[in-house]
Amino acid sequence: MIDCDPGHDDAVALILAHAHADVLGVTTVSGNAPLVDTTRNALAVVELLGAKTPVHAGAVKPLEAEPVHAGLVHGANGLGGVELPPPIVSVVSEDAVAFILEETRRVADVWLVPIGPLTNIAMALQRDPDLPRRIAGISLMGGSASEGNVTPAAEFNVWADPEAADLVFRSGALIRMCGLNLTHQLRTSDDLIERLGSLGTPLGDFVGSMFGFLHDRMADLVGERRAALHDPCAVLAVTHPELLEFEPRSVRMELKGEFTRGMTVVDQRTTRRRDEPNVEVAYHIDAERAMRLVMTSIGADD
């Protein structure tokens, strides 16, 4: 089950998940763009794939914080630089939390894969604290065991709703965390854009246009024409966990710091005094094999 806020890399994660997993549903959350945009984008991507996956709209704002968006990177509507036809299908419901709880009662050992702010997952935990005991786990893109991106200390998804992240990380669920320290290892290139354009398919053109937009943005922001594919890493942590290396760590949320709010405080001490682990933190990914999976899911030859 994918909980997302599309978002260019969310769109790639949706494509990858549909190629390699049985996606029970897609839920949307406010994050990279307002909820109305992230929901429309999710519907459009699912439709482009020809999938019948149900889409449920979720939280329009964080648990406590004011809504924030990532227009600087993703454009005002979340998929800047890309024009998709308006989706024909509509959301099944506007209660993503109810869908998450109902579906995890119906199907055993579901993986939740949240790749946006964790608001929907936290609200599901508030409504049903037994949720962690009946799912396989939560594989998320968020946080960092190194630096942040939206601030020096914090990664966007956690920073956008740190109270929600705090609930999720303290829930007792099995959690796999794909943070910036990992996701920056999986990067696009202009060569990939050329390969995608040569496919001559709607999906190849769509992803190639997204990468091109991101490369232009990254050139302006950081001076290089490439972009990290953050969200697909959380999908691969479920579908191809052998590509990643995890270490058990204690991870806590910083909720009050003037300069560190939204930071994932990862206990990386090697002494016996370190805190009890509650998260499997991903530290390395086989980027070459991972990118091959991404490209083949879009239709490129291996």
Geometric angle at alpha carbon 50, from 115 and 198, rounded to 5° = 85
* Active-site residue, 230 included: yes
Sequence-separated (6 or more) residues with CB below 8 Å from residue 14: 2, 4, 6, 23, 26, 42, 45, 46, 49
Other CB atoms within 10 A of residue 200 CB: 9
Tell me the backbone φ, ψ of residue 220, rounded to 5 degrees. Answer: -70, -40
Sequence-separated (6 or more) residues with CB below 8 Å from residue 99: 25, 27, 54, 56, 92, 93
State the Cα–Cα distance between residues 214 and 13, nearest whole angstrom.
Answer: 15
The residue annotated as part of the active site, out of 215, 230, 240, 284, is 230
Of 37, 17, 19, 20, nearest in space to 28 by CA: 37
First to last CA, the chain: 27
Q: Please give the positions annotated as active site.
A: 230
